[in-house]
Structure 1
């Protein structure tokens, strides 16, 4: 468990290392801004491919082999990126590192979602909170040593993956016996059988794509919006850091709550709170605090949705791969899509545009609650 949390710190750091190192990429290889940004794009493409590839391998090779090969791919890719003699080679290595990233992201989320019974929601939130820790530490490390020394940082990151290979003995290939939550899950199964399973899965995918689009949209546009409404660049940058920090804090905070409340209830409150906070962010004087609230409320959605999905659709266990891959696609697509909307509405409309997307998340959640509601066997009344 500890090694898994360390693994999530590392994948969070890897994803966050590319951005701060862009100035060094551009200088070393003579790149335009768009060409330098392809490093992160290659990473995400590799991540989606890794999720789908290792999903296909489940059952053919052991979970231990899946995680071990993912750690190795990420280490080799990070080291190759650090030592790449030219930018095409660097992109190929970023793709390879992303492949390992996707395998770890999917593999550990899948194992935690089914391996802890009623505690799975709490454990998934703790696991994903460590991703946030890595995402905060990665840029801080680049800032401390200087972007020009990014090869040393990527090499150190590659080496840090290797000890985790020694910590896989506790990984099993079969889930634990069903716990006391089994009757409720059986009831949920019967409820879903009465509806189109594909429709339920499609709405889960939509929820994941939309909420990750909000996550990426706030992270990318919060500084610009705050500066537009009168805040200094330093204040805007600090507020954005607080937003990411609140996402990490929120996942730790929700872990004990998840032991008492259902994933459905947690996600409903999260979507409602996120919508209200984005509406308040349209008020300039409240915007920095409202964005921090968005980070707090959006935090539990990704890890809390997976146990709900697996209980609602146990016959489609591999649906987890689809929603995790969709979340990555949502993060990539959010930037261009939101950018086009802002071109027409203006930067001041950023929180309202995102508020509309958040309202769709709430609608999707309420529909899923109804679609997966446990049913009772009733005898029809006579007469």
Structure 2
């Protein structure tokens, strides 16, 4: 009888540990890696133009193919995740990133480099989807906190990537990413298949009865929430420097303020970790949306604009990881839905800056805070709507 109890206890303990400690650390390193990889393409443009004789628009195709591969990777790995293990999903993704990074570094011509960027993007999408999904369920009641820790590593990588390019050049930088990707394949052994039990396992919307319509509305709500927030995130990052210069700041101050904005996104994800242990994801996201909107309104005051944009970075930081935790608890088909919202966020990040550019052409640079405030206000409405939907039982 005692042995039976011990076996049961061991079984429960096994289910409670989706990640071993070394695998958790390696996963965080993996997010540093994908943050660095995404950030390498922009600073590599001058060297790529000289190496392959490219126009600016042609050189920019590297990042476009990377993002295209990322969206395809999210959807493809989501489609096969039920048929392969968590370890196989991540190992395959790291292998694709290794092949893509090495291919981009040593490609003899530009078409092969673009193919390598797409290949690396597939692996990038697999890691982005896989680790976000597994962290959303892999740490029990601490999953929201760990998601924020994980995504903060992406910001660290995004800071390190350009520095790496400046120090060693694009060939060695992409080559180093390829080597690290290959090494991380060896660190996937500590990832198991069963998610831990949490104290909030009852989803707010059930898949039985007539709940299909409710589930569709919840998914649409999360897609809208992510697209709007990524539009604000990319919009501030893309248009803050131009707006600050227009209202009287120097180019140096504008560039520095934009760097602070991205830095605050990383800091905010660390700062929210203890908060996630006390408050629900939906409450945190409501405060974030309200704070973002207030900061963007503050950016209408020229002298306060740099500080206001930094505040936007702080408030928007927890949205992506914390929203995934809320999605997992509020929607029964969280695995499939998680892939869709991650893919939507990638598409939104690419589409938002040029679409905002159309609005800016019509209304002027001074309207940047107004346009972003509209998007942020809409994300606040989407958050409130989602709270009502996820608290409403299925019919």
* Coarse TM-score class (shorter-chain normalised): over 0.9
295-304 vs 136-145, greater mean Cα deviation: 136-145
Partner in structure 1 of residue 199 of structure 2: 180
Per-residue deviation, 1:143: 2.5
Per-residue deviation, 1:350: 0.9
Partner in structure 2 of residue 9 of structure 1: 32
Q: Name the CA shift for 1:267/1:142 in 2 (closer, same or farther; >3 Å).
A: same
Partner in structure 1 of residue 350 of structure 2: 332
Partner in structure 1 of residue 180 of structure 2: 160
Q: Does structure 2 retain, via aligned residues, the 8 Å contact 1:274–1:294?
A: yes
Q: Does structure 2 retain, via aligned residues, the 8 Å contact 1:49–1:99?
A: yes
Q: What is the aligned counterpart of 2:244 among 195, 205, 226?
A: 226
How many positions carry a matched residue from both structures?
A: 371
The whole-number CA distance in structure 1 between the counterparts of 2:291 and 2:233 is 14
The whole-number CA distance in structure 2 between the counterparts of 1:115 and 1:255 is 16
Q: Does structure 1 retain, via aligned residues, the 8 Å contact 2:203–2:332?
A: no
The answer as to 2:303 corresponding to 1:285 is: yes
Deviations 1:298-341 (A, max 9, x none): 00000000111111111343110000000000001012101111
Per-residue deviation, 1:164: 1.1
Taking structure 2 as the reference length, the TM-score comes to: 0.91
30-39 vs 240-249, greater mean Cα deviation: 30-39
Per-residue deviation, 1:115: 1.2
Consecutive unaligned residues of structure 1, counting only runs of 5 or more, are 378-383
Q: Does structure 2 retain, via aligned residues, the 8 Å contact 1:46–1:102?
A: yes
SS at match of 1:18: helix
The whole-number CA distance in structure 2 between the counterparts of 1:60 and 1:340 is 43
Q: Does structure 2 retain, via aligned residues, the 8 Å contact 1:190–1:374?
A: no
Q: What is the aligned counterpart of 1:120 among 120, 143, 151?
A: 143
Taking structure 1 as the reference length, the TM-score comes to: 0.94
Partner in structure 1 of residue 381 of structure 2: 363
The whole-number CA distance in structure 1 between the counterparts of 2:389 and 2:248 is 45
Q: Does structure 2 retain, via aligned residues, the 8 Å contact 1:188–1:372?
A: yes
Q: Name the CA shift for 1:160/1:376 in 2 (closer, same or farther; >3 Å).
A: closer
Per-residue deviation, 1:179: 2.6
Q: What is the aligned counterpart of 1:306 among 324, 328, 336?
A: 324
The whole-number CA distance in structure 2 between the counterparts of 1:135 and 1:350 is 25
SS at match of 2:186: helix
Q: What is the aligned counterpart of 2:133 among 107, 110, 135?
A: 110
The whole-number CA distance in structure 2 between the counterparts of 1:126 and 1:78 is 25
18-27 vs 367-376, greater mean Cα deviation: 367-376
Partner in structure 2 of residue 380 of structure 1: none
The whole-number CA distance in structure 2 between the counterparts of 1:151 and 1:282 is 42
The answer as to 2:84 corresponding to 1:84 is: no
Per-residue deviation, 1:187: 4.7
Q: Name the CA shift for 1:367/1:20 in 2 (closer, same or farther; >3 Å).
A: same
Q: Does structure 1 retain, via aligned residues, the 8 Å contact 2:204–2:330?
A: no
Q: What is the aligned counterpart of 1:134 among 141, 152, 157?
A: 157
Per-residue deviation, 1:190: 8.2
Deviations 1:86-140 (A, max 9, x none): 1111110000000000000000000000111211110000000000000011112
216-225 vs 40-49, greater mean Cα deviation: 216-225
The whole-number CA distance in structure 2 between the counterparts of 1:241 and 1:127 is 20
The whole-number CA distance in structure 2 between the counterparts of 1:77 and 1:119 is 34
Q: Does structure 1 retain, via aligned residues, the 8 Å contact 2:28–2:150?
A: yes
Partner in structure 2 of residue 32 of structure 1: 55
Per-residue deviation, 1:251: 0.3
Per-residue deviation, 1:375: 5.4
The answer as to 2:95 corresponding to 1:72 is: yes
RMSD (CA atoms): 1.7
Q: Name the CA shift for 1:376/1:17 in 2 (closer, same or farther; >3 Å).
A: closer
Per-residue deviation, 1:275: 0.5
The answer as to 2:319 corresponding to 1:296 is: no
SS at match of 1:169: coil
188-197 vs 58-67, greater mean Cα deviation: 188-197
The whole-number CA distance in structure 2 between the counterparts of 1:18 and 1:259 is 36
Q: Does structure 2 retain, via aligned residues, the 8 Å contact 1:189–1:311?
A: no
Q: What is the aligned counterpart of 1:273 among 288, 291, 302?
A: 291
